[in-house]
Each structure stands twice: as C-alpha cells, then as structure tokens.
C-alpha cells in the first residue's frame, strides 16, 4: 500500500495558493500545492492542517477533497483538498515563493507532475469562487475606518466559516496621505454582515456589476461607499 501525501488547494477570492519548491534538485523551481506526508495513523485532514501550519505559518480548514489520487514514485500517492484560511497569512519557510493564481493563470507556471491531474477540477472550483468574489450576488463589502476593526471582522468571519479578505478602500478625490476606509470582502449572508456592521459602526456595501470602462476612459472610482446602511453616524 502506498503512503499518503496530502496537498492543500487554499482558495481565497477566486485564487489558489501555489508554492515553489527549492529541493530536491530535480523539483527546485517547480510549483506545487503545499502539503506533506501523513504520519502513521494520522488522518489526512489532520495531517494537511498540521503541514500547512508548519510550512506556511497559518491555519486552514479543509472544505472538500478533490477526486482521486496520483502516484509519486513507487511508494507514495498524492491526495489534494480544497481549503480556506482561518488564521494568519501564508509565509513560506520551506518554499522560496508563493503566488495566488486565478483560474486563467494555472497554466502559467511549471507544476510538478503529481499535482497536474487535479488542475481541471481545481479550475472549476476557482471559477465558481471567482464568480462570487468578482461582484456576484454573494459578495459583500463591510466598510470600517479602523484597520484593527477590519482585521477583527475578518477574523470573526473566517472563524464562522466564511471567506473574508481585508483591502484598502480608495475614494476618488482623496490624497494618498489622507485616511482611507478599510473594506472586508466576504461571502457571508447579509444578516451576518449587518450584525458586524452594527457592532463595528461601519457600512454595508453590496457590490453591483459595473459595465466595462470604455477604452481610453479614466477609471471611475467611487466618491463614497455605496449603499450606506447607517444614517445616524
């Protein structure tokens, strides 16, 4: 029986994390989904969460296993799972670079052979996630003016099982040295987002699909958060 190696397709905002190997020499410079070997008697999910914590210094939750497995040499086989970040940001310790790849970027890097059979199913999962992160009906922006509040909202949402990412909101007409609000992009339902908006005294901005700008036209930035929920601030 082959020994099991597990790999994580960590998905955020419609992108997956890829990591570049440094060793052994025949794998150096090529890319993989991060992970590692299961210890004797260790469940694959527990092994994958442990390996990611050791390799990337962050916590993940496995959400689904991709179909099948692929051989690694004569003694091991690779299994891959979709996962989401629950704490921290990936910081490589055993790889020399990590990248977040969109579905159309999966073919731009040199993947190790055992990872390649998982790419079609992974691409399908990313396209679905990107449809939400790119302004679909499931995307919401919780806007606050304090970075600590934004990070607290992100942590709460991740702990409750939702995707969340903090970005800096830019408003038209403001100088670079002025204060800008922070936005937490999430797929959480409106009811949960509204509870956090009330708790952190923010705004709920539900993204609408915008027509593509005309060629050569300037970028149309918002002048204020859209759909301001609170009127008593």
Q: What is the pLDDT of residues 177-193, one digit of tens each?
A: 456 789 988 888 888 88
Give percent of the chain above pLDDT 70: 79
* Complete domains list, the chain, with CATH: 3-107 (3.90.79.10), 132-233 (3.30.70)
- The pTM (predicted TM-score) of the whole model is 0.66
- pLDDT by residue (tens digit) across 25-55? 999 999 999 999 999 999 999 999 999 999 9
Integer Cα distance of 147 and 145 in angstroms: 7
Tokens for 38?
């299961």
- What would the mean pLDDT of 106-121 be, rounded to a whole number? 97
Q: How many angstroms separate the CA atoms of 229 and 37, rounded?
A: 49
Average pLDDT over residues 155-168: 82
Q: Are residues 154 and 164 in contact, defined by beta-carbon separation less than 8 angstroms?
A: yes
Please tell me the predicted confidence (pLDDT) of residue 135: 47
Alpha-carbon separation of residue 80 from 13, 126, 127, 128, 204 (angstroms): 19, 14, 18, 18, 36
Q: If pLDDT is split at 50, 70 and 90, which confidence band does 213 have?
A: very low
Instruction: Note the pLDDT of residue 2.
Output: 92
Cα gap 87→64, rounded to integer Å: 18
Instruction: Write down the mean pLDDT value for the chain.
Output: 83
pLDDT tens track for 127-140? 877 665 554 445 78
Which range among 19-28, 33-42, 67-76, 150-159 shows the weakest confidence by mean pLDDT?
Answer: 150-159
Residues 69, 71, 72, 74, Cα dihedral to 10°: 140
């Amino acid at each position: 029986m082959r020994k099991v190696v597990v790999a994580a397709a960590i998905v955020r905002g419609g992108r997956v994390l890829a990591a570049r190997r440094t060793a052994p020499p025949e794998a150096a410079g090529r890319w993989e989904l991060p992970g590692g070997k299961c210890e004797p008697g260790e469940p694959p999910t527990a092994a994958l969460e442990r390996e990611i914590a050791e390799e990337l210094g962050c916590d993940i939750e496995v959400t689904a296993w991709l179909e099948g497995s692929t051989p690694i040499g004569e003694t091991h086989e690779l299994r891959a799972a979709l996962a989401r970040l629950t704490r921290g940001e990936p910081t490589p310790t055993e790889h020399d670079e990590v990248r977040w790849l969109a579905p159309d970027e999966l073919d731009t890097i040199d993947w190790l052979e055992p990872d390649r059979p998982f790419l079609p199913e992974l691409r399908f999962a990313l396209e679905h996630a990107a449809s939400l992160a790119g302004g679909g009906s499931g995307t919401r922006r919780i806007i606050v003016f304090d970075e600590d509040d934004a990070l607290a909202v992100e942590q709460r949402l991740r702990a409750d099982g939702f995707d969340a990412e903090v970005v800096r909101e830019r408003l038209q007409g403001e100088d670079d040295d002025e204060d800008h609000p922070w936005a937490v992009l999430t797929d959480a339902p409106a009811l949960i987002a509204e509870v956090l908006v009330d708790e952190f005294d923010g705004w709920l901005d539900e993204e609408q699909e915008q027509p593509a700008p005309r060629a050569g036209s300037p970028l149309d930035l918002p002048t204020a958060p859209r759909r301001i929920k609170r009127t008593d601030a």
